[in-house]
Amino acid sequence: MFVCINGTIVKAREAKISVFDQGFLYGDGVYETLRTYGGSVFQMDEHMQRLGSSVKTLKMAESFDVAKVEKWIVKLVKKNGYKESRVRVQVTRGENGFDFGEGKRLNVVIMAERLKDLDPSIYEKGVDVMTIDGSRLRAKVKSTSLLPMIVARQEAADVGAFEAIFVKDGWVKEGSISNVFVVKGDVIFTPKKGVLLGITRDLVVRLVRKLGLKVLEGDFTKRKLYNADEVFITSSVKGMIPVKKVDGRKIGHGRPGSITKNLMAAFHDYTAKKAR
């Protein structure tokens, strides 16, 4: 497997980054996780735009050339040659001794690994999720400071849940690595404030409107999540996943509902077209 460091492709086992890199020392970095369909990267422009915006928000550099990063991604995916890839692009502030907060030169690392087969049963039967109190700092930024997410995922794994959903002051926010949607009647709700605006979330919102359904982007309570007719979560790597139970409470009939299934079909059509 090859990786790309600041534009140079090297063998993964020979790749080197300084131990003084602020990403290593402080989790001071931003990232994107992308995947391919039919070998081409899904929603590349949207991911690059978000990466650029994360770099800017954290004042990591005066300017950042996402077009260059995009070329590196395409080159690396081709070099590794997997049928489908999961790509991680990570930008860290670089080195500055122990004076944190500033770096001299960003480090851009790209890893493209073979996309693992996803268990079909999660899409057919749905998954269980748990709620957990908390939220992400600078939520619009996709930051590498993932310790709260790791802890939340460990808690979820301990109770056999697939994902942990953050709830802040009673308001549902997002999953540790996903966005959350609820369906009530013929209206679909998804939080907007204090969450990462997922690339898949954005696409699903557009698909909902295309199907002639109503989508409301805004806050909702944990009670609304429990009482939803249908719930699903989204992410770039796994797409749309139906939720059958939240905190052990059955959602709807305890299996993927009809609106979720229609949206999953529309989502599948979209990605299949991209893969051609």
β-strand 249-250 against 2-5: which pairing, if any? unpaired
- Report the nearest approach of ligand PDD to the CB of residue 115 (Å): 12
Q: How far is the CB of 174 from ligand PDD (least distance, A)?
A: 5
Minimum CB distance to ligand PDD, residue 15 (Å): 19
Q: Given the structure tokens 């492709």, which residue do they identify? A: 9
CB 104 to ligand PDD: min, Å: 27
What is the Cα–Cα distance from 69 to 31, expressed in whole angstroms? 12
Cα separation values, 133 from 114, 148, 152, 154, Å: 34, 11, 9, 14
Strand partners, 151: none
- Assigned token pair, 45: 């422009």
Coil, strand or helix: which one is 126? coil
The tokens describing 146, both together, are: 């993932």
Nearer to ligand PDD, 95 or 191 (CB): 191
Using the minimum distance from each CB to ligand PDD, give the nearer residue, 95 or 235.
Answer: 235
Residue 208 C-beta: closest distance to ligand PDD, Å: 15
CA 231 – CA 188 distance, rounded (Å): 9
* Given 71, 104, 142, 193, the catalytic residue: 142
User: Given the complex with ligand PDD, which of 95 and 188 has the nearer CB atom?
Assistant: 188
Q: 95 vs 174, which CB is nearer to ligand PDD?
A: 174
Tell me how far apart the alpha carbons of residues 274 and 38 are, in angstroms, rounded to a whole number: 8
Closest to ligand PDD by CB, 76 or 95: 76
Q: CA 270: distance to chain centroid?
A: 18
User: CA 132, CA 225: separation in Å to the nearest integer?
Assistant: 13
- Distances, alpha carbon 64 to alpha carbons 54, 127, 252, 259, 266, in Å: 10, 39, 46, 40, 35
Question: Applying CB under 6 A, which residues contact ligand PDD?
Answer: 33, 136, 174, 177-179, 196, 198-201, 234-237
Residue 107 Cβ vs ligand PDD, minimum distance, rounded to whole Å: 19
The C-alpha atoms of residue 231 and residue 126 are separated, in whole angstroms, by 9
For helices 44-57 and 66-80, the axis angle rounded to 10 degrees is 130
Does the annotation count 142 as an active-site position? Answer: yes
Q: Which is nearer to ligand PDD, 93 or 153 (CB)?
A: 153
Show which residues are catalytic: 142
